[in-house]
Amino acid sequence: MYIIVGLGNPEEKYARTFHNMGFNAAADAAALLGAKFKKKECSSYIAEAYVNGEKIVVARPLTYMNLSGVAVKQLLAKYGVGPENLVVIYDDYDIPKGKIRIRPSGSAGTHNGMRSIVSEIGTQNFARIRIGIHDSEVNIPIINYVLAEVRKEDYELFISACGRAAEAAVKLAEGMPVEDVMTKYNG
């Protein structure tokens, strides 16, 4: 069993912001799996699918970004899954816009949602898919930037990035080795 978690903020006013790239990618992952977000549990919206008899849960935490770890800890406990079967998708200001980076583990960096997850579950050893949002032409404080709406001229780029991140997450959940997923999708 795998759990795919897309980070974001649950209110509609955040739907098109940079900080909701994880939410958007989670929706894409659920669609690829033929699943719909039908229930709330573990402080998250949940979509469930089965691939080759294995359950895959896609979650969008309702805890807001800075408390994402609360929901992730609840999900791991409820489904009896260890961090080795967790994939987290989120925005990353340190990566150029539209690029994605997959890693099998690593630090939380400056991302408060990831800091919350690492703090709550007590490990950095879980797969993560980062969607680059950095635009070198924009010079505003990061907190304002991540909560800003994606510019219309960049929207298609981010739709594509979220789609690629979703495909990578599904491949990991289906059992493709992380090194192979990295080779196929990083960049």
Catalytic residue set: 19
Q: Tell me how far CA of residue 44 lies from CA of 125, 136, 179, 184, in angstroms.
A: 22, 33, 29, 30
Residue whose tokens read 């150029």:
96
Q: Which of 170, 14, 176, 31 is nearest to 91 (CA)?
A: 14
Q: How many CB atoms lie within 10 A of CB 23?
A: 26
Residue whose tokens read 């609360």:
70
Measure the CA angle with vertex 80, ends 72 and 102; round to 5°: 50
